[in-house]
């Protein structure tokens, strides 16, 4: 911090009436059990302090040892850590499939990879990156960080959250096992009909793809709802809407986009699998169906998907920029409104993926205009971040370097995006490497670079150790150069007419040199990830021990220990400022009076963030895991017989009953 906050910049701790509602739980005139005074035998956190309080709470909120304990855990940090690691493993798998493709394309008429394997590789690459990495990584960070940043002790619906992780994991394993058994999908990550329909893709390949969609979307929706309710109802007292950290805003808007976009792809993939397995005719023109219906449904999801990948990254960028600029975000309100505007506008662009399908001209014009419109809120965000850095005293640590890299790459991708919004240009370069270059600039620039920054930034919180700064700088430059060497030439190869998704090309086309340069870049980019992996593993073992707040940041996750104890905070914080730790440098204002022996947490009101209830948070349970297993049996079985949905629903229903049935007479959760 270079400048101290003055008193007019934050409120002093407000009076109690502004922090708590003081309302009864029962309805007027009802003698409700909700208002019964707490048992005097139960130890509360206003009776005990210091290390004893920490230890007792850690026992209450902890996870049992052993396999059953590990599978029963409902700790958002443990589930979040698993989610992050799993998503990054899928990032590596998707990256390896890309490297294989680049090696094949390095020279014309290469015989390294067969056409059939190449089809599976580009499908697995896109599918993995979009569904197993892109959506889950943003949610994974939300699962870990949102409860900490809003001052909660656990995510809302922690069992649903655990269930979501296992469903995601099993869906991802299913599709990769299918690929290894040579039944990997081969119709591209969007699996257009009629190619993906029963006539042109017999066998089970596309069915595995369609069910993988079901798995990941069930998981994604479950997390989105947990995050929304956590942000709405679990915020620390005093965290009014305008004190919510920008990262949390980004994850909240992202969750809303997920809630309204993911049902579209589930509908599309369900119709596809029904056409393939039980003979429906949704996409069969001979019987009144229509192939473009699939494209509409898919892209109604598919375009918001781009923002599902990008919005969490804006949250990482905001957090990193504020911390390393050493000042509050410039244009907080503008940033929040831009996030919300981006969320809404993302639903009005889907047809620009379909410009070459013969649209009415008015439709094409409308979607061109809306595609250009969304550049405005995104531009506002970029300018606010630059202004924050401009006015601050930026400290160029590795996380900030990756954010700077993001600015360059993402803006370049945004510019080619504006070019593609125009129908004539889009028609020319549709399905060429120009488009491939464009969306890798947008997606890697807009998601992967901020992600790498975010990992360097929050690694001390996750592990209690710092990552190596020296290796981090090497990593950044290798990644930045490798990325641009790989993808910049693709703009030109695309303009020269090279189509995407071809397994090879003839030497006479003259694309050989540019492709070789791209492959060299890909090797450099790959090397940067090897370095990154080494940095993670060596730092997790031997890195310098991190204090709770090693970057001197302002948000609440840094008020917890590194790594946080199971209860996150020994007492729930009270928030008086957008950057609570910068406003309260000597002591943390807190709420007391919660149980030390039971999992109690504060439920607050949506807008004012007033403490309202002290509700119980669910205990660990094996049932979410068993429910996920039953779900997996049902989904995988349904690829082979539609009756699996019928008999599979019985164990599923039993597992759900086990999940919701209360275990003890005092347990209050549902």
Partner 1 sequence: MTAGSPDPQVPSGLLPHRIVLNARQMPSYSYGPRSPIWWGTLGFCAVEGMGFVLAVGAYFYLVFVNGTWPLSAPAPDLFWSSLHTVLMLGSLYPNYLAKRNGEREDLRKVRRDLVIMSLIGVALLGLRTMELGTTHVKWDHNAYGSIVWLLLGLHTAHLLTDVVDTIVLAVLMFTRHGHGKRFSDVGDNAFYWYFVVASWLPIYVIIYWFPRWW
Subset of residues 92 to 151 that bind partner 1, contact rule: CB under 8 A? none
288-307 binders of partner 1 (CB under 8 A): 288-290, 293, 296-297, 300
Q: Where are the alpha helices (DSSP H) in 195-290?
A: 205-233, 246-277
Question: Using CB under 8 A, which of 5, 613, 633, 644 touches partner 1?
Answer: 613
Question: Which of 198, 394, 510, 548 is in the footprint of partner 1 by CB under 8 A?
Answer: 548
Q: How far is the CB of 117 from partner 1 (least distance, A)?
A: 34
- Residue 613: phi and psi, rounded to 5, are -130, 155
159-218 residues near partner 1, rule: CB under 8 A = 160
For residues 566-594, one letter each, b for 16 or more C-beta atoms within 10 angstroms of the residue's C-beta and e for the rest, the string is: bbbbbbbbbbbbbbbbbbbeeebbbbeeb
DSSP state of 577: S
Q: Residues 2-41: x/- map of binding to partner 1 (CB under 8 A)? A: -----------x--x--xx--xxxxx--xxxxxxxxx---
Q: Which of 208, 282, 330, 457 binds partner 1 (CB under 8 A)?
A: 282
Q: Smaller CB distance to partner 1: residue 125 or 235?
A: 235
d(CA 501, CA 522): 17
Tell whether residue 507 is a contact of partner 1 (CB under 8 A).
Answer: no
| # binding residues, partner 1 (CB under 8 A) | 113
3-state SS class at 465: strand
The binder of partner 1 chosen from 135, 420, 611, 628 (CB under 8 A): 611
Q: Which two tokens stand for residue 493?
A: 């190869």
Half-sphere exposure of 76 (CA within 13 A, CB side): 29
Supply 199's token pair.
């006539």
Q: Which residue from 284, 378, 484, 638 is in contact with partner 1, where contact means CB under 8 A?
A: 284
CB of 200 to partner 1, least distance (A): 18
Window 248 to 267, contacts with partner 1 (CB under 8 A): 259-260, 262-264, 266-267
Q: Tokens standing for 47?
A: 């009776």
Q: 259 or 633, CB closer to partner 1?
A: 259
Chain positions 55 to 84 lying near partner 1, rule: CB under 8 A, are none
Q: Among 106-114, 161-169, 285-293, 331-339, which window interacts with partner 1 (CB under 8 A)?
A: 285-293
Query: Rounded to the nearest whole angstrom, what is the least distance from the CB of residue 564 to partner 1 in the complex?
Result: 11
Nearer to partner 1, 176 or 307 (CB): 307
Please report how close the Cβ of residue 247 comes to partner 1 at its closest, in angstroms: 21
Contacts to partner 1 from residues 445-474, by CB under 8 A: 460, 466, 468-470
For residue 125, give the nearest of 111, 140, 106, 104 by alpha carbon. 104
Among 43, 173, 375, 395, binds partner 1 (CB under 8 A): 395
285 token code pair? 């023109």
d(CA 515, CA 119): 18
What is the phi-psi region of residue 640: left when phi exceeds 0, alpha when psi lies from -120 to 50, beta otherwise?
A: alpha
Q: How far is the CB of 647 from partner 1 (least distance, A)?
A: 15
Q: What is the DSSP string of 416-440?
A: HHHHHTSHHHHHHHTTBHHHHHHHH
274/523 with CB nearer partner 1: 274
- By CB under 8 A, name the one of 84, 219, 603, 626 that touches partner 1: 603
Q: In whole angstroms, how close is the CB of 273 to partner 1 at the nearest point?
A: 12
Q: Does 586 bind partner 1 (CB under 8 A)?
A: yes
Q: In the complex, what is the shortest distance from the CB of residue 559 to partner 1, in angstroms, rounded to a whole number?
A: 6
- Which of the residues 561 through 580 are near partner 1 (CB under 8 A)? 561, 570-572, 574
Interaction between residue 634 and partner 1 (CB under 8 A): no
Longest dimension (CA), the chain: 86
363 in contact with partner 1 (CB under 8 A): no
For the CB of residue 661, give the shortest distance to partner 1 in the complex, in Å. Answer: 7
Q: Are 345 and 336 in contact (CB under 8 A)?
A: no
> What is the rounded distance in angstroms from the CA atom of residue 558 to the CA atom of residue 550?
8
Whether the CB-CB separation of 99 and 522 falls below 8 Å is answered with yes
Among 173, 75, 162, residue whose Cα is nearest residue 632: 173
Residues 610/353, Cβ–Cβ less than 8 Å: no
Alpha carbon separation from 119 to 184, 190, 200 (Å, rounded): 9, 13, 14
Calculate ∠ Cα 289-291-295, nearest 5°. Answer: 130
Residue 287 binding partner 1, by CB under 8 A: yes
Tokens coding 295:
């494209």
Q: Using the rule CB under 8 A, is 581 a contact of partner 1?
A: yes
Across 357-376, b (16+ Cβ under 10 Å) vs e yields: eebeeeebeebbebbeebee
Among 161, 342, 549, 627, binds partner 1 (CB under 8 A): 549
- Residue closer to partner 1 (CB basis): 470 or 501: 470
What's the min distance (Å) between Cβ of 537 and partner 1?
A: 17
Check if the beta carbon of residue 629 is closer than 8 Å to that of residue 215: no
* Phi and psi, residue 616, nearest 5°: -80, 145
- Work out how close the CB of 244 gets to partner 1 at its nearest, in angstroms, rounded to a whole number: 16
Query: Between 88 and 574, whose beta carbon lies closer to partner 1?
Result: 574
Q: Is 423 in the site for partner 1 (CB under 8 A)?
A: no
């Amino acid at each position: 911090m270079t400048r101290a906050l003055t008193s007019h910049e934050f409120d002093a701790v407000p009076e109690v009436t502004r922090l708590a509602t003081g309302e009864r739980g029962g309805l007027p005139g009802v003698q409700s059990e909700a208002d019964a005074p707490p048992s005097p035998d139960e130890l509360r956190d206003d009776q005990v302090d210091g290390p004893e309080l920490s230890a007792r709470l850690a026992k209450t909120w902890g996870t049992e040892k052993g396999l059953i304990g590990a599978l029963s855990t409902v700790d958002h940090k443990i589930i979040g850590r698993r989610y992050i690691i799993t998503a990054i493993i899928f990032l590596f798998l998707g990256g390896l499939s890309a490297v294989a493709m680049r090696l094949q394309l390095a020279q014309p008429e290469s015989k390294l990879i067969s056409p059939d394997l190449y089809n599976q590789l580009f499908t697995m690459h896109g599918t993995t990156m979009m569904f197993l990495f892109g959506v889950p990584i943003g949610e994974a960070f939300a699962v870990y960080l949102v409860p900490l940043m809003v001052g909660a002790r656990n995510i809302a619906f922690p069992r649903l959250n655990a269930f979501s992780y296992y469903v995601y994991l099993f869906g991802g394993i299913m599709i990769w096992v299918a690929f290894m058994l040579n039944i990997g999908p081969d119709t591209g990550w969007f699996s257009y009909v009629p190619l993906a329909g029963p006539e042109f893709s017999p066998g089970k390949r596309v069915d595995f793809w369609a069910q993988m969609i079901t798995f990941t979307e069930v998981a994604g929706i479950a997390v989105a709802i947990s995050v929304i309710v956590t942000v709405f109802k679990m915020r620390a007292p005093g965290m009014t809407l305008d004190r919510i950290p920008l990262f949390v805003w980004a994850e909240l808007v992202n969750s809303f986009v997920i809630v309204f976009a993911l049902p579209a792809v589930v509908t599309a993939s369900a119709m596809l699998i029904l056409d393939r397995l039980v003979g429906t005719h949704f996409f069969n023109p001979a019987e009144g169906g229509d192939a473009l219906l699939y494209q509409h449904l898919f892209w109604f999801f598919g375009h918001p998907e781009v923002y599902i990948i990008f919005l969490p990254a804006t949250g990482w960028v905001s957090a990193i920029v504020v911390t390393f600029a050493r000042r509050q975000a410039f244009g907080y309100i503008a940033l929040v409104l831009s996030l919300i505007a981006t969320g809404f506008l993302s639903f009005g662009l889907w047809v620009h993926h379909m410009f070459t399908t013969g649209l009415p001209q008015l439709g094409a014009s409308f979607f061109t205009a809306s595609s250009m419109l969304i550049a405005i809120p995104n531009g506002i965000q970029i300018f606010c971040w630059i202004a924050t850095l401009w006015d601050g005293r930026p400290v160029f640590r590795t996380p900030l370097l990756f954010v700077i890299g993001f600015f360059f790459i993402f803006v370049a991708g945004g510019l080619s995006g504006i070019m593609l919004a125009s129908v004539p240009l889009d028609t020319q370069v549709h399905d060429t490497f120009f488009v491939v270059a464009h969306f890798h600039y947008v997606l890697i620039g807009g998601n992967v670079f901020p992600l790498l920054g975010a990992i360097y930034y929050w690694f001390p919180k996750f592990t209690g150790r710092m990552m190596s700064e020296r290796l981090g700088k090497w990593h950044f430059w290798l990644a930045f150069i490798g990325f641009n060497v790989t993808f910049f030439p693709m703009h030109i190869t695309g303009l020269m007419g090279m189509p995407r998704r071809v397994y090879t090309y003839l030497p006479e086309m003259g694309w050989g040199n540019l492709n070789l340069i791209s492959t060299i870049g890909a090797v450099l980019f790959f090397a940067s990830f090897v370095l990154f992996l080494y940095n993670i593993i060596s730092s997790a073992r031997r890195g310098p021990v991190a204090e709770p707040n090693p970057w001197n940041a302002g948000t609440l996750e840094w008020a917890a220990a590194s790594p946080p104890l199971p209860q996150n905070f020994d007492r729930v914080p009270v928030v008086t400022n957008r950057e609570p730790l910068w406003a309260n440098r000597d002591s943390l204002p807190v709420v007391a009076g919660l149980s030390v022996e039971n999992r109690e947490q504060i439920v607050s009101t949506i807008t004012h963030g007033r403490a309202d209830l002290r509700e119980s948070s669910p205990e660990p349970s094996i049932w979410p895991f068993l429910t996920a297993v039953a779900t997996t049996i049902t989904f995988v079985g349904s690829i082979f017989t539609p009756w699996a949905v019928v008999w599979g629903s019985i164990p599923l229903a039993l597992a759900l009953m086990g999940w919701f049935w209360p275990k003890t007479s005092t347990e209050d959760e549902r």
